[in-house]
């Protein structure tokens, strides 16, 4: 760690990567030749309810394999942060669990109380990474919420299996008719529970 401070109501950790080398993602060759450095800002898990922001100094490396088409690459931090992620993996995992348990709206409220830096749209976008590649069986208990495909733009509907805690499907809009058609396609009888956002098949 380089330094630790409190900035604008948040704990700010300044960190820098320290591995002597990095692996080129294209050819797998290890390189120690640093090209440049830049700062990534990452939301992390809160400390005692106080939001935590990591300012991480990351490096770009030259690929030293002459035949490789990638001349420069960014060092990867697997298990810590995704290549283009804006939050740590553990923070993203916490948000996904919150969203699956509570939905976007209530999940965002609890995330704020806990000190997790995330809007409702951010929570629902996190779930997008768990969208199933193949169709899954119709869930028995279904959670429904709307979410933004892009921040502030083009809202769709997200359907979650509240028992298996998995994303079942993403619908292209938030029209009630689209949801009704999806429910009818599953050929199950649905009963509304807990307000208008959860359904149980009978």
Residues at the interface with Zn ion (CB under 5 A): 24, 26-27, 63, 65, 68, 70
> Nearest distance from residue 65's CB to Zn ion, in Å?
5
Separation of alpha carbons 27 and 45, rounded Å: 34
Strand pairing partners for 191? 200
Nearer to Zn ion, 67 or 195 (CB): 67
Report the residue count for the chain: 202
Strand pairing partners for 50? 47
Alpha helix stretches (DSSP H) within 75-173: 89-114, 120-128
> Nearest distance from residue 76's CB to Zn ion, in Å?
13
> Nearest distance from residue 31's CB to Zn ion, in Å?
8
> Nearest distance from residue 72's CB to Zn ion, in Å?
9
Q: How far is CA 116 from the centre of its chain?
A: 13
Separation of alpha carbons 25 and 199, rounded Å: 44
Separation of alpha carbons 72 and 105, rounded Å: 41
87 touches 44 (CB < 8 A): yes
163 touches 109 (CB < 8 A): no
Nearer to Zn ion, 24 or 81 (CB): 24
Nearer to Zn ion, 24 or 42 (CB): 24
> Nearest distance from residue 68's CB to Zn ion, in Å?
3
Nearer to Zn ion, 32 or 90 (CB): 32
21 touches 73 (CB < 8 A): no
> Nearest distance from residue 33's CB to Zn ion, in Å?
11
Nearer to Zn ion, 61 or 190 (CB): 61
Nearer to Zn ion, 62 or 182 (CB): 62
> What number of other Cβ atoms are within 10 A of residue 135's Cβ?
8
């Amino acid at each position: 760690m380089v330094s630790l401070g409190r900035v604008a109501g948040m704990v700010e950790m300044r960190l820098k990567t320290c591995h002597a080398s990095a692996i080129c993602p294209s050819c797998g060759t290890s390189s120690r030749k640093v090209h440049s450095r830049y700062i990534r800002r990452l939301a992390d898990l809160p400390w005692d309810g106080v939001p935590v922001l990591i300012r991480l100094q990351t490096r770009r490396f030259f690929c030293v394999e002459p035949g490789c088409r990638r001349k420069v690459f960014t060092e990867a931090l697997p298990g810590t942060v995704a290549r283009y992620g804006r939050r740590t993996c553990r923070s993203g995992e916490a948000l996904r669990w919150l969203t699956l348990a509570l939905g976007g709206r209530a999940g965002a409220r609890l995330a704020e109380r806990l000190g997790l830096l995330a809007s409702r749209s951010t929570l629902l976008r996190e779930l997008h990474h768990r969208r199933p590649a193949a169709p899954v069986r119709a869930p028995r208990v279904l959670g429904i919420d709307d979410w933004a495909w892009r921040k502030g733009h083009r809202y769709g509907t997200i359907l979650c299996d509240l028992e298996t805690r998995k994303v079942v499907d993403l619908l292209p809009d938030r029209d009630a008719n689209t949801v009704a058609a999806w429910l009818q396609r599953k050929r199950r009888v649905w009963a509304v529970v807990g307000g208008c956002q959860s359904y149980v098949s009978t």
